[in-house]
Structure 1
Amino acid sequence: MTGSGTVERIFTAPEAEAEMEERTDVEAIAGSGLRGDRYFREIETGTFVEWDADEDRHDGYDLTLIEREAVTAIEREAGIELAPGEHRRNVETREVALNHLVGRRFRVGDAVCRGDRLCEPCAHLQRITQDGVLQALAHRGGLRADVLEDGTIRPGDAIEPLD
């Protein structure tokens, strides 16, 4: 994988526990997230939202990304097949090492983002998919990022490190 890659697919869910819906584009809003997603600032019904409306938004909740190569690898290595969007990440990528974007600014489509931390798999993901997904996706479950500059994200868009 190289330093830059592409957006393969985009998913959002309107509320916690809702099925992920594939999108042809999504508007990324600085400090708020992806319009229409459960973690968008005006909605905030995601499973892991723990702050009050009066509090500042926590870092790393604007969007999540996962490498398509990781999804393919767990199928090959562990026999775990995830349906599109079942990984619960917003942006599926190709040919970009997401772990290398922690702490870095990058462009995805028209939006500028900053990688906050790895998006390790959780017990919730395993409950809704299958046993073994926690171990299979450890350290390759994706990236949590914040939107710094508004923009639209579409399949086929480039993902490029900025620093």
Structure 2
Amino acid sequence: MSLAPPFTAETAHAKVKKAQDLWNTQNPAKVTLAYTEGSIWRNRSSFLRGHREIQDFLTAKWQKEKNYKLRKELFAFTDNQIAVQFWYEYQDAHDGMKWKRCYGLEDWTFAEDGRMRKRQMSGNDVEITEEQRWFKGDVDVNKVPIGEEHW
């Protein structure tokens, strides 16, 4: 099955899960290859362009965000665009290793070859306790029930 546009419901969902799995590797070099060389990003208040800036950003991200686990879900799609809702948990190496969860939305635009050419991300971090964590141990993030109040 091709994960290049135009997307169907099936291929859009598969593309989201492939991105989720890729980001969960926490491998900046590998993740960067999913984007076009001139890919444009807004990640919260950071504005990036191209592989070098993306890889540098991801390297710094995962130096800060330890024990990172991410879940992405398809929100909407068109021929070459996908919107996702996501949640991830991490320990903040810059804040005493406190557990945090980020809630957010992304919109993606794809090139004809299936690589992402534009990524816009908005997210908010919430401090959580050990007991409030969803993604503990080797849990399958796709099977964790997330209540409506968090969607």
TM, length-normalised to structure 2: 0.32
Q: From the CA coordinates, give the structure whose radius of gyration is larger.
A: 2
- Counting strand residues as a fraction of each chain, which structure ranks higher? 2
Structure with bigger RCO (C-alpha 8 Å, 6+ apart): 1
**Structure-1-length-normalised TM-score:** 0.30
Q: Which has the higher helix share?
A: 2
